[in-house]
Amino acid sequence: MSPRILLLGGTTEALRLARRLGPESIYSLAGLGRVPDDLPCQVRVGGFGGAEGLAAFIREQGIELLLDMTHPYAAQISANAAQAAALSGVACWALRRPGWQAGEGDDWREVDDWSGLVAALHNFRRPFFTLGREPLEHLHEIPPHQYWTVRCLTAQEAVPRAEIIGARGPFALDEERALFARLGTDVLISKNSGSQSTEPKLQVARELGLPVLLLRRPELPAVDREFLQPDALWEALERRLV
């Protein structure tokens, strides 16, 4: 008998795993991105109402195992998952995808938050933001000497000194090279997601000798089992399924 699993998703790895779950299990999304309609498991969309709400859902649905495969910067839902698992007495397993590591020729600088980022950007003119929607809230604060490019999931009209590109990975190396050239990028800004699908931009920055400002990873809670690779999680799951 397969355990009834609640899979908290929103990442490529989570979607891949959801394709292998049976109809007794549930794939959960916050609802910010695309909702797949071709999965063998059930799909639900939207928040639970904090850790208490998630714990209630786990109990009501008779969930036996909670899987946290959310984005490494989605700290709130990961904290809720650990707390809800403890409240409802089910195990929580998590994929904790390792971050990218700087190599030869990389000039990576870590920043703590938005204000640290703004300070670190001061001497640049053509920053390329690839860390989600946060820069969109600051378009009215663009310093006179800067022109911003913001790439996030959904496009939005350009403003006088910024271009907003709507795009979803994976991104091909050649296309990233062409984009950096067109934009005249002099600094790249990113989260350290560790995702292969968005890694080519780092290679382009390395080739061009550009600095990369990385937003520091949030602390994530300890859970019953943590996996660095999705395959290891799947193997552990298969052993449990038998």
Q: At what angle do helices 200-208 and 173-183 cross, to 10 degrees?
A: 50
**Closest listed residue to residue 123, CA positions, set 213, 18, 239:** 213
Among all residues, whose Cβ is closest to ligand NAP?
47
Q: Closest distance between ligand NAP and the C-beta of residue 129, in Å?
A: 12
For ligand NAP, give the closer residue by CB, 105 or 229: 229
For ligand NAP, give the closer residue by CB, 52 or 231: 52
Q: Closest distance between ligand NAP and the C-beta of residue 242, in Å?
A: 27
Computed over its alpha carbons, how large is the radius of gyration of the chain? Answer: 20
Q: DSSP string of 185-235?
A: -SEEEEE----GGGTHHHHHHHHHT-EEEEEPPPP----SEEESSHHHHHH
Q: Closest distance between ligand NAP and the C-beta of residue 71, in Å?
A: 4
How many whole angstroms separate alpha carbon 195 and alpha carbon 169?
A: 10
Q: Closest distance between ligand NAP and the C-beta of residue 184, in Å?
A: 25
For ligand NAP, give the closer residue by CB, 30 or 159: 30
Contacts of the segment 172-181: beta carbons below 8 A, 24+ positions apart: 172/200, 173/200, 173/203, 173/204, 176/200, 176/201, 176/203, 176/204, 177/204, 177/207, 180/128, 180/204, 180/205, 180/208, 180/210
Sign, CA dihedral 30-228-93-14, equals positive
Q: Closest distance between ligand NAP and the C-beta of residue 144, in Å?
A: 28
Q: Closest distance between ligand NAP and the C-beta of residue 209, in Å?
A: 27
For ligand NAP, give the closer residue by CB, 10 or 135: 10
Q: Which parts of the chain fold into alpha helices (H)? A: 12-18, 50-61, 75-88, 114-120, 173-183, 200-208, 230-241
- Residues interacting with ligand NAP, by CB under 6 A? 8-11, 28-30, 32, 47-50, 53-54, 70-71, 73-77, 80, 132
For ligand NAP, give the closer residue by CB, 9 or 200: 9
For ligand NAP, give the closer residue by CB, 25 or 80: 80
For ligand NAP, give the closer residue by CB, 67 or 179: 67
Q: Closest distance between ligand NAP and the C-beta of residue 197, in Å?
A: 9
